[in-house]
Amino acid sequence: MEMTAMDGGFADAPREAALAFRAALQVLARPGRIDRLAGAAPPAPASPAAGALLLTLCDPETGVYLAGAHDTQALRQWITFHCGAPLVGPEQADFALGTWAALQPVGAYRIGTSEYPDRSATLIVETEVLDPAGARLTGPGIEAEAALSLPELAAFQANAKRFPLGFDCYFTCGDRVAGLPRSTTVTEAG
Amino acid sequence: MISNYNFAYLDEQTKRMIRRAILKGVSVPGYQVPFASREMPMPYGWGTGGVQVSAACLTPDDTFKVIDQGADDTTNAVSIRKFFEKTAGVAVTERTSDATVIQTRHRIPETDLTEDQILVYQVPIPEPLRFLEPRETETRKMHALEEYGLMHVKLYEDIAKHGEIATAYAYPVKVEGRYVMDPSPIPKFDNPKLESAALQLFGAGREQRIYAVPPYTKVVSLDFEDYPFDPSRADHPCELCGAEDSYLDEVIVDDAGGRIFVCSDTDYCAARREKGEAA
């Protein structure tokens, strides 16, 4: 009997999804802030935080792209059972999940149009480390400046430059999450 | 909580749709994200947009406050507060500083908001260019091209006709140097408070739009070098608490034309009177 696909969802979906969304909202509205996202237990290699984001935001209306090592039978079944989301390629994805290396090339994702910049992908980037240190962040949501460990700078600088177009990112590590909207200016720590 | 409603009234799929729209709104400050607004158990114009945004944001741990033109005790505010008390089982308050989520119609509280608070606006007409250009296809293109000349012409015509910018509420702002945004019909007195430590979310139910201003985002009221923005205020102290820094409502008190000015923010006024700061 296939157990993993049915396990690991929210026990009390309305309340847990509300708490998870609030954390996801606050970290995206305040780049550099790191919060906890608990309640989900997706099959490896997906992290609990990434699982909670999928459960909170994905449903039959959103295409999900699984990149690299995240494209496993177990995770596909888990998403199909809990979210009902269609699994698609990077060009159609509303949400993409994987490590930064596996998510490349980031040019494949939708960045919206000048009339509808909201029609863009959200990347859920699984990381080994997630610290409020490293790249320097400025922009909306940040009082003076903030810092966040990013896998690289160039891609996020290029993404911010074409604002209001662009993709938005969540970084997940275990049960922790941080957000990086396209509006954030990323520079080298100085 | 004893009720047969899903947490915060809306079904989970609807909340996910609204939540995705809110997140894209946060990512593109000032841009109006279309969303599939639902019918709510109240008429359009009574805050259905704000209610849907609040429903998507509330958690069981929240303390919820609702104001209508600054007041906690008006029909609209009381009924929305009761709605979420019943359907979400959240704690409610009238004190600005105790609230974690505040839904508002046409005011920003006088008390400075903190990082732990979310302010949800009820918005009637989200499109700042709508009265200048009625076609959605055109205003959408104008936002895409950053073509806001028409709005400056409108403000200029104000000056030509009235000697000053006569727009007193829903005064247009530019968000983070990109999108011109309608801050909902708040008095222009409140415009400087749009740069806040709190996250601000805007919901327009009938017009099916959600937009956002993240904390500390630059929000500039449109003006001219020789006619700078002026957040005017009635030149009186509050009759009840003596405040000289708050936004005032004019109240007619008799049939002989007698009138007084009182704070529009009832919580601010009451707190000042409790502390004995009355004039």
Residue B279's pLDDT is 47
Calculate the CA dihedral of residues A72, A77, A83, A85 and round it to 10 degrees. 70
Residue A5 counted as domain residue: no
Catalytic: B242? no
CATH code, domain with B58:
3.40.50.11310
Assigned domain for A1 exists: no
Domain of B92? 12-140+167-221
For residues B240 and B104, state if they share a domain.
no
On whether residue A2 sits in a domain, the answer given is no
Q: Measure A16 CA to nearest chain B CA, in Å.
A: 9
Q: Does B187 share its domain with B261?
A: no
Would you say residue B73 lies in a domain?
A: yes
Domain identity same for B260 and B180: no
Strands (E), B123-170: none
Say what the pLDDT of residue A3 is.
Answer: 55
* Number of domains, chain A: 1
- Interchain CB contacts (distance < 8 Å): A and B: 117
Q: Is residue A8 part of a domain?
A: no
**A7, part of any domain:** no
Indicate whether A6 belongs to any domain: no
CATH number assigned to the domain comprising residue A178:
3.40.50.11310
* Interface ipTM above 0.90: yes
Contact B57 A24 (CB under 8 A): no
- The domain total for chain B is 2
Q: Which pTM value belongs to this model?
A: 0.96
The verdict on residue B161 lying in a domain is no
C-alpha to C-alpha distance for A56 and A49, rounded to whole angstroms:
11
Whats the size of chain A, residue-wise?
190
Q: State the residue range of the domain holding A80.
A: 13-187
B175 in the same domain as B275:
no
3-state secondary structure B118-131: EEEEECCCCCCCCC
Q: Are residues B180 and B264 in the same domain?
A: no
Check whether residue B181 and residue B278 sit in a common domain: no
B115 touches chain A (CB under 8 A): yes
Q: Among residues 8-47 of chain B, which lie with CB inside 8 Å of chain A? A: 8, 12-13, 15-17, 19-29, 31, 33-34
Under an 8 A CB cutoff, do A56 and B16 touch? yes
Interface with chain A: mutation pick from B27, B174, B195, highest number of A CBs within 10 Å: B27
pLDDT tens track of chain B, all 279 residues? 455 889 999 999 999 999 999 999 999 999 999 999 999 999 988 999 999 999 999 999 999 999 999 999 999 999 999 999 999 999 999 999 999 999 999 999 999 999 999 999 999 999 999 999 999 999 999 999 999 999 999 999 999 999 999 999 999 999 999 999 999 999 999 999 999 999 999 999 999 999 999 999 999 999 999 999 999 888 999 999 999 999 999 999 999 999 999 999 999 999 999 988 554
A111 belongs to a structural domain? yes
- Tell if the CB–CB gap between A58 and B60 is shorter than 8 Å: no
Is B101 in contact with B54 (CB distance < 8 Å)?
yes
Q: Same domain for B84 and B211? A: yes
Same domain, yes or no, for B174 and B195? yes
Task: Using alpha carbons, list the distances in angstroms from residue B197 to A20, A28, B32, B216.
Answer: 21, 14, 21, 6
In this structure, which amino acid lies at residue A1?
Answer: M
Residue A113 lies in a domain: yes
Asked if B269 is an active-site residue, the reply is: yes
pLDDT, tens digit only, all 190 positions of chain A? 455 788 899 999 999 999 999 999 999 999 999 999 989 999 999 999 999 999 999 999 999 999 999 999 999 999 999 999 999 999 999 999 999 999 999 999 999 999 999 999 999 999 999 999 999 999 999 999 999 999 999 999 999 999 999 999 999 999 999 999 999 999 998 7
Same domain, B103 and B60: yes
Residues B58 and B98 in one domain: yes
